[in-house]
Amino acid sequence: MNVQRVGAADLADRLDRLRAELVDAAAADAQLRTVHPDNRASAENLAHYVALRRRDVRDLQTDLAIAGLSSLGRSEAHVLASVDAVRMAVAGSSDRVAESPECDPVDFVSGERLLRRNANALLGAARDGRRTRIMVTLPTEAAADTGLVERIVAAGAEVVRVNCAHDGPERWARMIANVRAAARAQGRHVRVTMDLGGPKLRTGPILPGPAVLHLKPERDELGRCVRPVRVWLTSPSGPPAVGAVRVPVRGEPWLRRRKVRERIRFQDARGSARRLVITSVTPDGCYAELGDTAYLVPETELTGAHHDSTVVDELPRRERKLMLCNGDPLLVIADSDPVDANGAPPRIGCTLPEVFRDTRVGQRIFFDDGKIGGVIEAIDPGALRVRITDAPAPGVRLGAAKGINLPDTALRLPALTDADIARLPFVIEHADAVSLSFVRSGADVELLQHHLSELGGTGLGLILKIETVAGFENLPEILLTAMRRPHIGVMIARGDLAVEAGYARLAEVQEEILWLCEAAHVPVIWATQVLDTLARTGRPSRAEVTDAAMSGRAECVMLNKGPYIDHAVAFLDDILTRMAEHQRKKNPLLRQLRSWNETAAGS
């Protein structure tokens, strides 16, 4: 060993001082006395880790590495045990005797065991061959399409997520019932989590355009149809489409008479003659394909092969958006009435008028997950005057119900809305865990814990979504408050977090969240746009494959909805199974590699 080269006595003194500082920091933290007994050791380890990372120990790490000792770089799950192991090694190479620790810290084995216990309790056990679970956000179609749910479960999902910001109790109940039935049929248990919407800041409504469906097939460079439009013809009360455009038509007897390969003739809104070809028939309607562009409006007449006709029923009016370019003014208003997309100057509503109280001139504002950025130039009564500064050429369209982020503004908003509180009884009855959105402080967690206790939901798991800079900066306090309950987890909601913290800083922030949660033995869910291109189009991008591989350091990875979501689950299962043999959290595993055989090595 090279301990003498760097000075054994000096190293021993520095390690002793470091250990004493970590122990003193934990002893002074009054929050440790309020955590659940099952989390006491983990809370102390968290306090030790926070105290360690509030110091710059890079010089000590360098000297330990020169001495051939652990540099404490992988100490998250067992901080004091790591320090003590190095102290004993230093003492063993010198005449110094290391003092026995006064407390029994989390050791190298129990640290990993505690994290595994907590992850299993909150999220269930992972499938054989991997340590990281897969969570899937259920689309609206999961309420009616049992086959979709069965495919998701069969592909390997251990957890599903129901987003309370969409749909309603009736559909949520059907989604969950379908999941439970699919899991039972496959001899598995799939956990259900439900997200409370929280005070999500969104753009207000925009006056819609005409009621028209634009059906457009995919064409090659020569204008030839390479993928026709898939259309779902059903009654006005029929189920939603699966991978097709839903067209409600009047007259269920007309639908029941349709045959496979039958041609349905119509004239679209421009007077162009078009034909639909029936490809499959079900009790609820029929699927058809269209090889030409068409515009459907209500009362469009559809005529079958036997000259029997029906008409298209009511259609949703087309969504309109504002077009914004760099330098444009934008008025963000408190009025909740729909605005005219062609108004001058352009204006958009805001769902939370509290922002007009907390914002200041010069602060940044972002829209639609950061796709559009601007600066607040003036604040009028009930309105923010914004100058657009970040809208890629030739401009970006801003629609209704898009997220608004104010990264420079300290918003005084409760984490629970009245709507969230009203949904809690349903969540307690049907879900295994509840997710709290936009957590900013321990007080937000305390508020939810209070309501859960009043409603008898103390056994419900709690997932904290970290999606603001305030939530990230207050994470130690948030974790200690949450640890008053036995089953907790953290979701890194990378969409809003990237906008709030800045894309350049996101990688650093998500790493720090992973480290801090490992120190608390709290499972982490890696979320937002994982294999998003694959789920939407059936083919992954190279960048998201690498991202998926890195996600294996979390205890769970969340996939969002898409027509190819079952393929995305299976693909992610393969990636996570492979990476489990190479990496455990921050620790590389030196599995035997077969990539280079002896013949190749000698050639």
Please check whether residues 160 and 256 belong to one and the same domain. no
Domain tally, the chain: 4
Confidence of residue 3 (pLDDT cuts 50, 70, 90): low
Please check whether residues 446 and 481 belong to one and the same domain. yes
- pLDDT value of position 97: 54
- pLDDT value of position 602: 44
Please check whether residues 439 and 394 belong to one and the same domain. no
Q: Assess if residue 119 is contained within a domain.
A: no
pLDDT tops 90 at residue 242: no
- pLDDT value of position 590: 75
Please check whether residues 470 and 556 belong to one and the same domain. yes
Q: Bridge partners of 216?
A: none
pLDDT tops 90 at residue 332: yes
Q: Bridge partners of 398?
A: 322
Please check whether residues 500 and 562 belong to one and the same domain. yes
Please check whether residues 419 and 549 belong to one and the same domain. yes
Please check whether residues 561 and 450 belong to one and the same domain. yes
Please check whether residues 394 and 418 belong to one and the same domain. no
Confidence of residue 595 (pLDDT cuts 50, 70, 90): confident
- In terms of pLDDT, which residue wins out, 597 or 185? 185
- pLDDT value of position 93: 65
**pLDDT tens profile 98-111:** 555 555 679 999 99
SS3 label, residue 20: helix
Between CA 213 and CA 215 the distance in angstroms is: 6
Q: Assess if residue 158 is contained within a domain.
A: yes
Phi, psi of 338 (to 5 degrees): -60, 140
DSSP secondary structure code for residue 199 in this structure: S
**pLDDT tens profile 258-317:** 999 999 999 999 999 999 999 999 999 999 999 999 999 999 999 999 999 999 999 999
Please check whether residues 440 and 570 belong to one and the same domain. yes
Tokens of 446: 């305390």
Between CA 402 and CA 432 the distance in angstroms is: 29
For 598, other C-beta atoms within 10 Å of its C-beta total: 7
Q: Assess if residue 597 is contained within a domain.
A: no
Range of the domain at 546: 125-199+414-588
- pLDDT value of position 584: 85
Please check whether residues 290 and 391 belong to one and the same domain. no
Please say whether the beta carbons of 438 and 465 come within 8 A.
yes
Q: Bridge partners of 278?
A: 288
The percent of residues in the chain predicted with pLDDT above 70, rounded, is 96
SS3 label, residue 114: helix
Between CA 315 and CA 68 the distance in angstroms is: 72
Tell me the C-alpha to C-alpha distance, in Å, between residue 603 and each of 178, 494, 594, 599, 600.
57, 46, 16, 6, 5
Please check whether residues 359 and 423 belong to one and the same domain. no
- pLDDT value of position 45: 96
Please say whether the beta carbons of 133 and 523 come within 8 A.
no
**Which are the contacts of 438, defined by CB distance < 8 A and separation ≥ 6?**
198, 199, 200, 413, 415, 444, 465, 467, 468, 471, 496
Q: What is the pTM of this model?
A: 0.83
pLDDT tops 50 at residue 601: no
Q: Bridge partners of 331?
A: 347, 385
Tell me the C-alpha to C-alpha distance, in Å, between residue 246 and each of 68, 167, 216, 563, 566.
66, 18, 14, 15, 22
pLDDT tops 70 at residue 598: no
Tokens of 204: 């207000």
Last residue within a domain, chosen from 106, 136, 162: 106
Please say whether the beta carbons of 178 and 147 come within 8 A.
no
Q: Assess if residue 534 is contained within a domain.
A: yes
The percent of residues in the chain predicted with pLDDT above 90, rounded, is 79
Please check whether residues 129 and 70 belong to one and the same domain. no
Write down the mean pLDDT value for the chain.
Answer: 92
Last residue within a domain, chosen from 311, 338, 360: 311
Confidence of residue 582 (pLDDT cuts 50, 70, 90): confident
Q: Which helix (H) or strand (E) holds 495?
A: helix 494-501
Task: Identify whether 345 is preceded by a cis peptide bond (ω within 30 of 0).
Answer: yes
pLDDT tops 80 at residue 30: yes
- pLDDT value of position 585: 85
